[in-house]
Amino acid sequence: DTAVSQTPKYLVTQMGNDKSIKCEQNLGHDTMYWYKQDSKKFLKIMFSYNNKELIINETVPNRFSPKSPDKAHLNLHINSLELGDSAVYFCASSRGTNGANVLTFGAGSRLTVL
Amino acid sequence: KQEVTQIPAALSVPEGENLVLNCSFTDSAIYNLQWFRQDPGKGLTSLLLIQSSQREQTSGRLNASLDKSSGRSTLYIAASQPGDSATYLCAVYSGTYKYIFGTGTRLKVLA
């Protein structure tokens, strides 16, 4: 029973297309995140949501639009894909904002833009 | 602005060795620090979380320590095994709804 699940696992698409990645968590967490891992394996925060509300937008181009229909879901839609968007996108979740909040990751969605 | 650095970037050791991975951060005002493991092509698995009031945490052959005042954490792996080969990442949480990740250490344990 996967705690944080992302779909699809792989995406290959042409420049200019629009694509979406879905994320769901069954841990009862109230905070969800999108992270981008580049080719050098560096993980960078993109967005964080708490109780469906956007909290962090870390200077991400507005071609990226996250949506949280409820606390258990956080989806990422990307318009007009560019070559530089190729990366692995990770969804994660945590409970609360105190010191005991373990961050739990999904398996990642590898996006390749041709 | 919080910055997190991990040294070394890569490490190759023979099986059975004890080893230490280092993580340093620039702003000591953190809530917790978490160590993760990432296998190639996979997601991140949480190994240990140390809250700001704690000095260390242990899980099996892993021991993580935290020295907030000096901005350092170490992950100690005892009696390393080939199955420990992976990338190890540390991340700090400062209560701002984001974890800041280090640059990672790629570990290879040779049989």
Ramachandran angles phi, psi of A8, nearest 5°? -85, 170
Q: What is the pLDDT of residue A1?
A: 67
- The 10s digit of each residue's pLDDT in B40-90 is 888 999 999 999 999 999 999 999 999 999 999 999 999 999 999 999 999
- Closest-CA residue of chain A to B90: A43
Q: Which residues of A are less than 8 Å from B98 in CB distance? A: 33, 45, 48, 56, 58
How close B96 gets to chain A, by Cα (Å)? 8
Collapsing DSSP states into helix, strand and coil, what is residue A85? helix
Integer Cα distance of A11 and A1 in angstroms: 23
pLDDT at A91 over 90: yes
Integer Cα distance of B51 and A46 in angstroms: 24
Q: What is the pLDDT of residue A2?
A: 72
Q: Which residues of A are less than 8 Å from B105 in CB distance? A: none
Q: A110, A88 in Cβ contact below 8 A?
A: yes
Integer angstrom CA distances of residue B9 from A44, B5, B54, B55, B87: 17, 9, 26, 24, 9
Q: Which residues of A are less than 8 Å from B42 in CB distance? A: 107-108
Q: A13, A114 in Cβ contact below 8 A?
A: yes
- Mean pLDDT, chain A, integer: 92
- The 10s digit of each residue's pLDDT in A33-86 is 999 999 888 999 999 999 999 998 887 899 999 999 999 999 999 999 999 999
Among candidates A92, A99, A106 on the partner chain, residue whose Cβ is nearest the Cβ of B52: A99
Decide if A42 and B101 are in contact by the 8 Å CB cutoff: yes
Which residues are CB-contacts of A4 (< 8 A; sequence separation ≥ 6)? A23, A24, A25, A27, A91, A92, A93, A104, A105, A106
